[in-house]
Structure formats: structure tokens, C-alpha cells
Structure 1
């Protein structure tokens, strides 16, 4: 006895959606490059920049985006930042990692919420999911940043409000 197999539906990606995704990715990379102060066209480019150490100007660019110096103290303490700038030094690998983490969260929130004002407001807002802590507070650690990224994805896909 032969079992009839259902006909397979051929997957045909929507070229319009592919173009939109490509444009969004290009815009995101451009914003990443601007904020990080280094040309990046891939995640590996970011890895290389972090290994070299980012320019301390990334902190100024993040404050220009609406974050406060106090909110950025977890990235680099103010005295250390002043020292690095005065001596023409780059950020350490850890400081660069934290900067990239924050830039990525900010851009993800901007894309989802429609702009930097809405993104920074959301990042500061106490969230029930995080026991009343803001996304910025939770994102001080790598694991916390992953939780914030997951929440943003869930909001985008309609799983969380």
C-alpha cells in the first residue's frame, strides 16, 4: 500500500519584504557607525572595533541621543572618561563592549518605537517584568541586556505589551 504524500508548497520569499529588511539593516549599520564612531558593516567589524577600543566620543554621542551622563556611568565612570580623553586613550575592551550593548539596545528600541525620544523614554520606564526596574538598569549586565532585547522582540511580534 502506497501512502500519498501531500504536495509541497514552494517557498517564495517576498522581494518587497527582503528589500525593506535590507534597507532597515543598512540604516541600522549606518546609525551604529555614527554612534560608535567607526565604520561597521557587520558584527565582525564591531568585534574588531571593540578589540581596538572605541573612541571615548561614543559617550558624548550617546548623551546627544538623549541619555544622561549618570545613565552612562555603568559604561565608564566619569573620572576614568576624563582621564581617557585627556590622555588621548581609547576605551577598554569592557567599556567598549558596554557601549556597543547600549548602542544596540537604543537602536532596537528606536526602530520599534519610532524615534530616539520614544526609545529613551521606554528605556527609562519602570517595567513590571523587571520588578519595577527600567530596561537601562537591567541592561547593565550582558544577561540583562539579552532580556531587554528579548522583550523588545516580543513587543515587536505582539507577544508582550
Structure 2
């Protein structure tokens, strides 16, 4: 199995846009709040692609994501356990979100994340504030 076919330690969610279903890849170390940010977005009408482990691949100059079969439609809710979530099976990934608990610059330089030769914009974000989901939605809408 090539590196591009191995699941990434990341969560992915998607929403329907005028251009079709578009998603974000939420990355960061264990415990940083990837699943919690995904839950915030799901509460705003987004759909889960994959929680904690995500297959990401390049095709036709774009990146796509899907869940490994063993975790499809499931998300970890800290303090509750593994639960079912509204699912969308596959999406084009348009934005990478790098979760951190470090201070975020107010006006950061543009950043990118590259996988299998394809680069997409990257947003550094502290997922803990209540506004984090809206920040992600705003960033995706601006693309």
C-alpha cells in the first residue's frame, strides 16, 4: 500500500455548496479537538466523511476523502463514546484545517497543505472557541 492509500490521522466533514459537496480535512494531534470541531460543523448541517482516520487521494488534480469501511458513519464523542453521525460517503477536499491550542495570528500569511502532489489552502485554528465552526465555514465559502 502506498503512503497515499494509507489512512491519515484526520477527520473530514463536508457540506453542500453551489459547486456540489465540498469538504475540509481536520488535522492535529490526538486530543486537540478534531472530532469536537466536526461535531460543531455537523450541528450546522455538515455531514461526516470520516472521524479520526481518513482515506485521502488525488484524482484529476483534486483531493478526495472517504472513511475506512470499519468506521463509516461513526464519530467519537468524548465522554459519550462512539455514536452514529449524519454521513456523506465521499467528498472533494478543498481546505485543510490544522488544529492547535497555540495562539493564532489575527492576519496570518496564506498557507497550504500538500498531499500526493496536490496543494490546498490550510487554516490554522484553535477548535475550542464556539466560533470555530463558523470560522471553518467562512474559510470554505471564501474559496
- For the superposition of Structure 1 and Structure 2, which TM-score range results when normalised by the shorter chain? under 0.3
Greater helix content: 1
Give the structure-2-normalised TM-score: 0.28
